[in-house]
Structure 1
Amino acid sequence: MNRVKVGIVGATGYAGVELCRLIMGHPQAELSAISSVSFEGKTLSEVYPAYFHMCDMICGTQEQVLEKSEVIFAALPHGLSQELAAQCVKAGKAFTDLGADFRLESEEEYKEWYGGSFTDKALHQEAVYGLPELFRERIRGKRLIANPGCYTTAVPLALAPALEAGLIQPEGIIADCKSGVTGAGRKPTQGNHYPELNEGFTAYKVAAHRHTPEMEQTLSHIAGQKIKLTFVPHLLPINRGILATCYAKLAPGAELAAIRKAYENRYAGEFFIRLLPDGQCANVKNVRCTNFCDISLFADSRTGTFIAVSAIDNMVKGAAGQAIQNMNLALGIDETAGLKLVPPAF
């Protein structure tokens, strides 16, 4: 079988280079072209010496990526993918956006949270939201996929079965989340400068993070009604990982045993979801460099509160790994191809 030719636009950012790493290990895909505005003309191994003799491909232009590839991934800041997506669709190429341009269904919400507009409304109608464990059948065969981000993967996966089964109340949900610093991207800022980050731990963009409407959109689809949540992200002094601790009020009569059963049923057969035994807590360390999402469930009977804790690697399940999972689904490839990764034990 011929391998799928994959091109990556924005290959020298953290999500882009993670895509390169994973595609190099994919049994049915090959890296055909990469681009980078910041490092055009340089090899990927010059930018990331860890790839020396593993990927010495030269960073070219977007046009070269389109010309040489059947499937294109864009790992770009928001606002830069819409025109590229249109070019890919017109050329009959499959396109997956790791940015935010196609994630929100409402243009008004996109304007409010990102300050942009839908430049091609018909194109947005074609896009499908790529969270496979929740929307798998919508993704199969699609050519334009909006890949969710890290928080927007960890939180819905933690809450969906309980919300779907009516075992938690839809009002007053809280998502208290922690992220590794790679979630801030490769460009240095004051906040991710080592002396500022090291030995610190802080909340940021409290009740004002751009991922809020995206999480609400997904949970609203699951619940069949409008969901609003309180979202507080924190920055951890580690490279990788998202830990999402989610709180919701138990529905009247709901007990933890019934909730666990709902999760077991909803996620039965899901290779990348690991529902942990009672009493065991999800830990970002245990999913590092993999496409797994670990979930642990708790109930506080004193306050009638349900607590779901999920852990993912923000660069894999929260970005590049999920993008490849979506590609596999869209092309009819084994969904786990290239993603059966064993987490480091320490």
Structure 2
Amino acid sequence: MGFRVAVAGASGYAGGELLRLLARHPDLSVTAVTGHSSAGRRLGEVQPHLRTYADLVLQETTPEALRDADVVLLALPHGQSGALADALPDVRLVVDAGADHRLIDETDWRAFYKGEWFGAWPYGVPELLTKDGKQRDALRGANRIAAPGCNASTVSLALAPAVAAGLVEPDDLGAVLAVGPSGAGRTFRTDLLAAELLGSASAYAVGGTHRHVPEILQNLALVSGHRGTISFTPVLVPMARGILATCTARLAPGATEQAIRAAYEAAYGDEPFVTVLPAGAFPAVEHTIGANTLLLGLAVDAAARRLVVVAALDNLGKGTAGAVIQSANIALGLDESAGLPIDGVAP
């Protein structure tokens, strides 16, 4: 038996990617889509690449438009999911792609976000290591799930095996990310215009001010029991979608390249969507576009005594919509890989 799905925020980039993946899902059927300024229009006018759902009419994003579904997927701006989710107590599963339910510490929320804190839901990164196993265990049978921030899940998965194995110092982590502007959503901003982006690159949220910093530290504390520190710098680059993260950490005494590779193979060797590349190989964003995959390349900078992990994923795919659907599959008892491609699009 299939499940009826409603997608809130279907006119945005994340909502559109959710619908693209749902179109091939064998067990999830889209019955309702909602938007804001696009309400009343056919989805095909707003998302012309989604021919499967072209005739669906976007409704206002209200509890009434969503509550008849078995599964509600929220692809809304930060601060808009909490109250709406509270008005859907009888919906079997709600997955929030926004930030409203990611942080377990209200102090973190108030330091990085505005508005009311609605508490934390189980975190939707199945492959993330925890003290007792993997985050997948917390998603089985869940009725509420917080999907991750795309930058946060990239960095967390890139560093977690080394942190968990005690092979790096958790108080000296670094990450510099090249990110595409689709991560900012489908909004009109001067810094996201082609004339501003093309031929350029610019850092933003520098100096520990990015909202994904507490999320990363929260995730890595799951594996170490210690909240470390990270210098996190995202750089906006002229590619529509994707993240290339160069993550580094100071090696712990006695750590070797062999031990590091063994830790990563043990963590991800059986995972269908996370691949550790062979020694000397490093990923490119283009190899992940359209796929629910995270690719990792490992190196040890012996002179600097640092681990270097290069991670690539599609921020709208594995970083957002793929994480939502993968987590929903687990919660509903479906095949975890249902509807999720591992093959990207090239060129």
TM-score (norm 1): 0.95
Cα distance between partner residues in 2 of 1:231 and 1:66: 37
RMSD, matched Cα: 1.2
Per-residue displacement from partner, 1:82-141 (whole Å, max 9, x unpaired)? 1111122x224310100000000011111110022325xxxx35x211111011101111
Cα distance between partner residues in 2 of 1:279 and 1:67: 50
Which position in structure 2 is the counterpart of 1:166?
Answer: 166
* Amino acid corresponding to residue 188 of structure 1 in structure 2: F
Cα distance between partner residues in 1 of 2:75 and 2:175: 26
**The residue matched to 1:245 in structure 2 has which SS?**
strand
Which position in structure 2 is the counterpart of 1:335?
Answer: 336
Shift of 1:334: 0.6
Shift of 1:260: 0.4
Does 2:125 align with 1:131?
Answer: yes
Task: Specify every segment of 5 or more residues in structure 2 that has no aligned partner in the other structure, as ranges.
Answer: 129-134
Cα distance between partner residues in 2 of 1:64 and 1:226: 41
* Amino acid corresponding to residue 95 of structure 1 in structure 2: V
Cα distance between partner residues in 1 of 2:67 and 2:308: 48
Cα distance between partner residues in 1 of 2:309 and 2:83: 39
Contact 2:273 2:342 in 1 (8 A): no
Which position in structure 1 is the counterpart of 2:131?
Answer: none
Which position in structure 2 is the counterpart of 1:100?
Answer: 99
* Amino acid corresponding to residue 12 of structure 2 in structure 1: G
Contact 1:72 1:95 in 2 (8 A): yes
Which position in structure 2 is the counterpart of 1:221?
Answer: 222
* Amino acid corresponding to residue 102 of structure 2 in structure 1: R
Task: Specify every segment of 5 or more residues in structure 1 that has no aligned partner in the other structure, as ranges.
Answer: none
Q: How does 1:56-205 map to 2 (within 5 A)?
A: 56-61=55-60, 62-88=62-88, 90-119=89-118, 124=119, 127-134=121-128, 135-205=135-205
Contact 2:67 2:91 in 1 (8 A): no
Shift of 1:54: 4.7
Bigger helix fraction: 1
Shift of 1:53: 5.7
Number of paired residues? 339
Which position in structure 2 is the counterpart of 1:210?
Answer: 211
* Amino acid corresponding to residue 288 of structure 1 in structure 2: I
Shift of 1:80: 0.8
TM-score (norm 2): 0.95
Cα distance between partner residues in 2 of 1:54 and 1:221: 39
* Amino acid corresponding to residue 162 of structure 2 in structure 1: A
Which position in structure 2 is the counterpart of 1:305?
Answer: 306
Cα distance between partner residues in 2 of 1:340 and 1:188: 30
Cα distance between partner residues in 1 of 2:160 and 2:323: 18
Shift of 1:203: 0.8
**The residue matched to 1:95 in structure 2 has which SS?**
strand
Cα distance between partner residues in 2 of 1:171 and 1:159: 12
Contact 2:257 2:299 in 1 (8 A): yes
Cα distance between partner residues in 2 of 1:55 and 1:219: 41
Shift of 1:171: 1.6
* Amino acid corresponding to residue 6 of structure 1 in structure 2: V
Contact 1:173 1:249 in 2 (8 A): yes
Shift of 1:345: 3.1
**The residue matched to 2:321 in structure 1 has which SS?**
helix
Contact 1:107 1:117 in 2 (8 A): no
**The residue matched to 2:159 in structure 1 has which SS?**
helix
Cα distance between partner residues in 2 of 1:234 and 1:118: 28
Shift of 1:247: 0.8
Cα distance between partner residues in 1 of 2:343 and 2:29: 21
Which position in structure 1 is the counterpart of 2:281?
Answer: 280
